[in-house]
Structures are given as structure tokens and as C-alpha cells.
């Protein structure tokens, strides 16, 4: 059975202080990325619920997390996102599971940097960095075929 799976090694997360993230501000040396979209559920259970919990949909939100090898350069996107965290400024966000021609999906939005960390414990390994991104307003899905 054939599948249309995407190779994750071709995925990217891009961030920019401009109106659109595009692909120019991709996080270098990306190793892992996750985009999570969720919706809060409001409990409306009452005595009339016949012993079953009742919920209604509440507010939607999205977050992203990226892990990469640390790039110590003031021209790298990693430097821009550290500055955005310090200043509290918003950034444009782009997530593409694949940059190959067979990867037509992407998600864009406006975000704030919620956290950034750097660490390395292996004396024979590279320093790694991770960033948590909090969505601000809606996340837009785009498809092109």
C-alpha cells in the first residue's frame, strides 16, 4: 500500500520580525519540531446531565516547540528569537512539515517567544537549544497543489 508520507528532515520552522516569516528566517540546524493546536473545553455538567459530563468548545490556541543545534551568530534566527523573548515583541511564524515539492502544507501566524534554553552535557556533543513559541491570534493553514 502506497503512502504519501512526508520526510520530516525537510521540515522547517521560520520566524521573522517582518510581516511574513517566509522561508528566509528558518531556524538553522533544526532537529525536532512540533506544532500543537488545541481548544479548551468548558464543563457545563449539571444535575440534568444524567450522570454524564457535558462540555462545550471554548477558546482555541496553538503552540510550537523547536529543538536545534546551537548557532552562536548574531545573524542567525536563533539570535532574533532570543531578542524577541527579551523585548516581548511579536514575530511572524511559518511551519512547513516538508519543503519538498510533495509537501504542500504550511501554517502561518503571529507569535511570541515563551521560552528559550541552551544546554549541553555530552563533552563530545554539540550544544543544543530549544524554543517554545506561543501563538497570538489564529493559525492559518495553507495548501497548494
Please state, in angstroms and rounded to a whole number, the distance separating the CA atoms of residues 66 and 12: 9
Per-residue pLDDT of the chain (145 residues; tens, 9 = 90+): 556 666 666 788 888 887 676 656 888 888 999 999 999 999 999 999 999 999 999 999 999 999 999 988 888 888 888 999 999 999 999 998 877 665 568 899 999 999 999 998 788 888 999 999 999 999 999 886 4
Residue pair 68/29 in contact by the 8 Å Cβ criterion:
yes
Residue linked to cell 513559541:
133
Instruction: Note the residue count of the chain.
Output: 145
Find, among 136, 144, 21, 6, the residue nearest to 77 by Cα.
21
Please state, in angstroms and rounded to a whole number, the distance separating the CA atoms of residues 64 and 36: 6
DSSP 123: T
Name the pTM for this structure.
0.81
Amino acid at each position: 500500500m502506497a503512502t504519501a508520507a512526508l520526510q520530516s528532515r525537510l521540515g522547517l520552522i521560520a520566524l521573522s520580525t517582518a510581516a511574513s516569516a517566509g522561508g528566509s528566517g528558518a531556524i538553522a540546524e533544526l532537529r525536532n519540531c512540533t506544532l500543537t493546536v488545541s481548544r479548551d473545553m468548558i464543563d457545563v455538567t449539571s444535575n440534568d446531565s444524567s450522570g454524564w459530563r457535558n462540555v462545550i468548545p471554548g477558546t482555541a490556541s496553538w503552540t510550537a516547540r523547536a529543538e536545534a543545534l546551537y548557532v552562536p551568530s548574531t545573524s542567525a534566527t536563533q539570535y532574533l528569537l532570543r531578542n524577541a523573548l527579551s523585548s516581548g515583541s511579536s514575530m511572524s511564524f511559518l511551519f512547513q512539515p516538508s519543503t519538498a515539492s510533495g509537501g504542500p502544507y504550511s501554517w502561518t501566524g503571529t507569535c511570541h517567544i515563551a521560552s528559550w534554553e541552551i544546554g549541553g552535557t555530552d563533552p563530545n556533543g554539540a550544544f543544543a537549544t530549544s524554543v517554545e513559541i506561543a501563538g497570538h491570534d489564529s493559525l492559518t493553514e495553507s495548501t497548494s497543489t
